[in-house]
Amino acid sequence: MKTMKGPAIFLAQFMGDKPFDTMENACRWMAEAGYQGVQIPSDNPVCIDLKLAAESKTYCDEFKGQCAEWGVEITELSTHIQGQLVAVHPAYDTAFDAFAPKHLHGKPDARQAWAVEQVMFAAKASQNLGLDRSVSFPGALVWPYMYPWPQRPAGLVEEGFKELAKRWRPILDYYDECGVDVCYEIHPGEDLHDGVTFERFLKEVDNHPRCNILYDPSHFILQQLDYLSFIDHYHDRIRMFHVKDAEFRPNGKSGIYGGYQDWVDRPGRFRSLGDGQIDFKAIFSKLSGYDFDGWAVVEWECALKHPEDGAREGAQFVKDHMIRVTDKAFDDFAGGDLSVEANRKMLGLT
């Protein structure tokens, strides 16, 4: 068995104001809070020059060295934002324009081409950084028809997944050339939002070896999906792990869909680690039992708690749940040496 690494933290929700205004300040703060690694949002130029990282091994070596001086190592690169733009339904064009440079606003084809290039940059940058996995969103073409009225026409979902696979297949092939996995965060709002939809996509890309999963149980409890059984089904594809808590408290007025309410009022909402309902002891046990060897990365999102408090508490929470796996069985002391003759005698065969 293997022991996972951590704790680490995803920087996306923190970068901005002091003390997270620069990578140095953010990394030093996280190291002091107890984190060993940082997951980097590659769309944020404050965090990384993605194009330069793809072009220059020297830049990557120096960047890794700086992070080490600041007390952390780089765990993975994230292309959540760029990956989202690989596939955008027209209903979301205006909203998702905010994810792209201004000169691409109102130009969905050019925006998609830019997004694909960015995701490709992340493959090469990951290789230059010595990383073998990266996280992304797949985007969504079918999501507006998730709960349809009128009913979906025959073949709509199949056509949507064929197109999604067509867009991602060359990206997956390039990641394979670079020796890097694409770990899709299975997430509502994406066409890959549960096990069934992941399987649909996986089939369309011919079970591509680089098509993998970032496991985040918070998105499953809000869907009322069995997040522990999910690990049993897909452990061979789970290559990344976001440690994020959530709670689901339905009432007589609102349930899974949330009633268009703000996060603080929804029955299903994200919480800081330890404040929600997720059984992380069982999750860490299952992942350890299946030899998960990646990082335990805290993703902080909470409608109530201050992010700095959530981050500090999160580091200790992960430390408390990490399992250093054993290298021997607990009852080895009572065993004997291997002997075929003795075994046959015990079975009455001698």
- Lowest average pLDDT, out of 87-91, 295-299, 323-327, goes to 323-327
Domain that holds residue 268: 5-346
Residue whose C-alpha is closest to residue 86's, from 202, 167, 174: 167
Tell me if 108 sits within 8 A of 90, measured CB to CB. Answer: yes
Q: Is the pLDDT of residue 327 over 80?
A: no
Question: Confidence band (pLDDT; 50, 70, 90) for 93?
Answer: very high
Q: Is the pLDDT of residue 350 over 90?
A: no
Q: Is the pLDDT of residue 330 over 80?
A: no
Q: Backbone phi, then psi, for 345, in 5-degree steps?
A: -65, -40
Question: Confidence band (pLDDT; 50, 70, 90) for 101?
Answer: very high
Question: Confidence band (pLDDT; 50, 70, 90) for 312?
Answer: very high
Count of CA atoms in the C-beta half-sphere (13 A) of 313: 16
pLDDT of residue 333: 59
pLDDT of residue 226: 98
pLDDT of residue 52: 98
Q: pLDDT digit string (tens) for 102-145? A: 999 999 999 999 999 999 999 999 999 999 999 999 999 999 99
pLDDT of residue 326: 73
The CA distance from 148 to 99, in Å, is 27
Q: Backbone phi, then psi, for 210, in 5-degree steps?
A: -90, 0
Q: pLDDT digit string (tens) for 262-273? A: 999 999 999 999
Q: Could you tell me where the beta strands, DSSP code E, fall in the chain?
A: 5-10, 37-41, 73-79, 133-136, 181-185, 211-215, 238-243, 245-248, 268-271, 295-298
Q: Is the pLDDT of residue 334 over 70?
A: no
Query: What's the domain count of the chain?
Result: 1
Q: Backbone phi, then psi, for 181, in 5-degree steps?
A: -85, 145
For position 238, which CATH number holds? 3.20.20.150
pLDDT of residue 331: 61
